[in-house]
Structure 1
Amino acid sequence: MEEAVILTSFHQSPLPLALELRLCGVHRITGLSEDYPGSLLDVRVTSRDVPWSVHEADRALAIAAAAGFTLPADDAGLPALVPTQPSGLRPDGDYVVVHPGADAPSRAWPAANAEQLVELLAARGLQPVVTGGPGERALTARVAGDHGIDLGGRTPLPVLVDVLAGARAVVVGNTGPAHLAAAAGIPVVSLFSPVVPAGVWAPRGAPVVVLGDQDAPCAATRARTCPIEGHPCLARVSPAEALAAVESLLAEHSGVVA
């Protein structure tokens, strides 16, 4: 390998990987480092070049550009994802995916709220499909209840991409499926806990409505578990508010169906 571009989040250092790459004989290495890198980086980017307020995707593109890799003129720099494996799990007709889980509890909408949203979607004639990982089966079963299709533990990554890409909209916290859905061009209702800034990490590539108190006391704490009793930044987002966001996206982007 002749060259490497290291893409990291602001709290990560590229230097350990840069050292390994250098030991492997990589000749030219680019990365963002606030720490002086010595000879580990040939092209060093800092927050003076790319402020921390810049969206993470734009930061990555800027690091690549510093290395000399720029986008073609017809490329807007937005994520794009096309499903390649039919899952057989898409229901007939229109459906909305509700993904209630998240790796960090601070980023998850309360299960009771998600459960009520599923009931409201079903009452509106929009089939709710509830997704989650193998360790979230109890959560998805609760949220799906008698009104939703429970796919908890049944969607490895390629299957999840296909299910998300067939939805009319996706309701999801600040977690991976939000970005997958947006990259597939599907409108996203993003229940975004402000423990990290939405302006830096909200999904991009599709219409997005961000819900959640972005000025809550937990803002910018990077907390994995909510430090505020009652998790108010997301708990106060009512199921009716989430439904209104879904309906708004569908009304404005009725042609967005994979």
Structure 2
Amino acid sequence: MSPLRILVARLDSDGDVLLAGPAVRAAAASGEVVLLCGHNGAQAAGLLPGVQRIVRWDCPWIMSPPPEVRTPDIEGIVALLKGIRADVALVLTSFHQSPLPLALLLRLAGVPRIVARSTDYPGSLLDVRLRDDPSVPESERALSVARAAGFELPPGDDGRLSVVPPPESPVTSPYVVIHPGASVPARAWSPDRCAEAARALSDAGHRVVVTGGPGETALTAHVAGTHALDLGGRTTFAELAGVLAGAEVVVVGNTGPAHLAVAVGTPVVSLFAPVVPAERWAPHGRHVLLGDQNAPCAGSRARECPVPGHPCLDRVTPAEVVAAVAELVGVRT
């Protein structure tokens, strides 16, 4: 008898895919996991324990900016899903997303059992529907979908974020990482503030490393200046995991590398803009949260800061970051 084949769908970016990790491991304890994700989440998908196959698809109702909805593309994904021959599908979504469009495609592909959380009436699109939407960390919220499908974490798995062992860091410890970029501008500390923090950390005796993606090299060069080592655009996502794993502390906004740092056990100074709730999206590990969580932008889900001066984050001082780093040095999970 062939093993149970479980399709896990998380169609957002790398950080969201990392937060699906405990749900993936629970599913993998009962069968073979195929992970459906967008190209923006594929790097993280490749680091998740328990994933045996990755299927990439940029979903028109999830990605930002969204691709067009085209009949050939929809017919193509239905055919691809049919070819997977999944026995059950877990559709993982954020609280503001609906699982029902994808559930319809899964039904058309012949998937016999579909499990998701939905505030909207699903009719016959879902076999197991979770109605409540608790304000818990996003990884726990995803894990509850797996549990509703009958999948539990294996013995000894505490449900924390985890990735496969990353490459060794090219930087000799000890050092502190600043990751200044964010996929959503409203969630980023300003470049000048990041540069001031790099200088202040260096003056406090820390070796500082600045990280960023290929499109962030101008930003990382500005932040690093003459006070830090600039690794912007010089690491793959897996290599970034290694750099974060070797750090004493990571200073980062609400973006994928914050969750990647947690997954490798490194404490985080979280510069967290309240456009989404911290109780759901703050690093689910040892961290210090900085930023005004009662700012006017709170709960707005804004991608661009709606308040002049970006006060929720730019009122955070470099001295506060230095103090938060000092609090976390030597504390790993």
Give the TM-score normalised by the residue count of structure 1.
Answer: 0.92
CA distance in 1, matches of 2:247, 2:115: 38
Aligned length: 248
Question: Which residue in the other structure is 1:192 paired with?
Answer: 272
Counterpart of 2:218 in structure 1 is: 138
Confirm or deny: 8 A CA contact 1:140 1:150 kept in the other structure.
Answer: yes
Match of 1:44 in 2: 129
Within 2, Cα distance between the matches of 1:58 and 1:22? 26
The SS at the match of 1:160 is helix
User: 1:67 corresponds to which residue?
Assistant: 149
Q: Is the 8 A contact 1:83 1:165 kept in 2?
A: no
Which consecutive unaligned segments of at least 5 residues does structure 1 have?
A: none
Displacement of 1:155 after TM fit?
Answer: 1.6
Residue 183 of structure 1 and its aligned partner are, at CA, apart by 0.9
Aligned amino acid, residue 172 of structure 1: V
Aligned residue number for residue 214 of structure 1: 293
Whether contact under 8 Å (2:173, 2:247) holds in the other structure is: no
**Equivalence for 1:121:** 201
Residue correspondence of structure 1 range 53-202 to structure 2 within 5 A: 53-86=135-168, 90-202=170-282
Give 5+ residue unaligned stretches, structure 2: 1-85
Shift of 1:124: 2.4
2:329 partner SS: helix
Question: How large is the Cα RMSD of the aligned pairs?
Answer: 1.4
Give the residue type in structure 2 aligned to 1:233: C
Give the whole-Å Cα distance in 2 for the aligned partners of 1:210 and 1:5: 31
Give yes or no for the alignment of 1:11 onto 2:124.
no
CA offset at residue 82 of structure 1?
Answer: 4.0
Contact 2:176 2:247 survives alignment (8 Å): yes
CA distance in 2, matches of 1:225, 1:24: 38
Q: Equivalent pairs: percent with the same residue? A: 60
Which one-letter code corresponds to 1:14 in the other structure? P
> Shift in Å at residue 200 of structure 1?
0.7
Query: Shift of residue 91 of structure 1?
Result: 1.9
What is the CA–CA distance in structure 2 between the aligned matches of 1:195 and 1:62, rounded to whole Å?
A: 24
String of CA shifts for 1:81-137, please: whole Å, max 9, x gaps. Answer: 2433335xx322311110011111110011111111111221222111101111111
SS of 1:140's equivalent in the other structure is helix
Report if aligned partners of 2:210, 2:232 keep a CA contact under 8 Å in 1: yes
Q: Distance in 2 between matches of 1:243 and 1:111?
A: 17
Report the CA distance between 1:227 and its aligned residue.
0.6
